[in-house]
């Protein structure tokens, strides 16, 4: 199959294969790096374009903060967060809520936050879904917890 070029190739690079199948098209690391520099986006959000790039290490809180802010903070922030659980800042989130900690650093399977967004514990979150978090968003949260839920920079 011939390699895609022109507008279609640029479109595929920007929306990513998860959003649109782009048969016969692939990106090498140099192209991804160039695109990431030319088109900076906030990762971990639905509003940004997620470019498939090689992570520079384990994800930090900054990598998941957009997901939490967009999908969780409407209920889990402010003076009276649902369940006493703040998901709008690292420190309070790591302390947990009325039911205790929701993140077990290094163990996504024991982390209530992960179980809720996956729907293996009820009620599934975010409350009022669908839409639920995408598999990519859940995967990023799981990778962050598995890495020890680091605060990072």
Residue 123 domain flag: yes
φ, ψ at 149 (rounded to 5°)? 55, 50
User: What pLDDT was estimated at residue 57?
Assistant: 83
**Positive/negative CA dihedral, 43, 49, 50, 54:** negative
Is there a single domain that holds both residue 75 and residue 141?
Answer: yes
Mean pLDDT of 100-126: 97
User: What pLDDT was estimated at residue 100?
Assistant: 97
Is there a single domain that holds both residue 83 and residue 44?
Answer: no
Residue 153 domain flag: no
Mean pLDDT of 13-42: 48
Range of the domain at 5: 1-54
Is there a single domain that holds both residue 43 and residue 70?
Answer: no
* pLDDT higher than 90, residue 99: yes
Mean pLDDT of the chain: 78
Residue 72 domain flag: yes
pLDDT-derived band at 147, boundaries 50, 70, 90: very high
Q: pTM for the whole thing?
A: 0.65
Is there a single domain that holds both residue 69 and residue 40?
Answer: no
3 vs 116, higher pLDDT = 116
Q: Which residues, including other chains, have CB under 8 Å from residue 150's CB and lie 6 or more apart? A: 58, 60, 61, 144
Is there a single domain that holds both residue 2 and residue 75?
Answer: no
Mean pLDDT of 27-51: 48
Tokens for 65, please give them.
């903060």
Is there a single domain that holds both residue 65 and residue 122?
Answer: yes
Kindly report which listed range (21-25, 120-124, 127-131) carries the lowest average pLDDT score. 21-25
Is there a single domain that holds both residue 69 and residue 110?
Answer: yes
Is there a single domain that holds both residue 45 and residue 89?
Answer: no
Number of structural domains found in the chain: 2
* pLDDT higher than 80, residue 96: yes
Is there a single domain that holds both residue 140 and residue 65?
Answer: yes
Is there a single domain that holds both residue 2 and residue 31?
Answer: yes
Is there a single domain that holds both residue 70 and residue 137?
Answer: yes
125 vs 20, higher pLDDT = 125
Residue 2 domain flag: yes
Residue 30 domain flag: yes
User: What pLDDT was estimated at residue 152?
Assistant: 85
User: What pLDDT was estimated at residue 28?
Assistant: 56
């Amino acid at each position: 199959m011939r390699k895609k070029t022109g507008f279609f190739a640029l479109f595929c690079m920007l929306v990513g294969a998860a959003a649109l199948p782009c048969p016969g098209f692939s990106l090498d690391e140099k192209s991804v790096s160039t695109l990431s520099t030319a088109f900076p986006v906030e990762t971990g959000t639905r509003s940004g374009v997620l470019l498939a790039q090689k992570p520079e290490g384990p994800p930090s809180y900054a990598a998941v903060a957009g997901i939490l802010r967009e999908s969780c903070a409407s209920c889990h922030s402010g003076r009276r967060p649902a369940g006493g659980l703040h998901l709008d800042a690292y420190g309070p989130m790591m302390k947990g809520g009325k039911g205790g900690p929701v993140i077990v650093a290094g163990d996504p399977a024991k982390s209530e936050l992960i179980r809720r967004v996956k729907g293996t514990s009820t009620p599934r979150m975010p409350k009022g879904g669908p839409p639920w978090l995408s598999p990519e968003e859940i995967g990023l949260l799981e990778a962050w917890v598995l890495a020890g839920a680091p605060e990072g920079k």
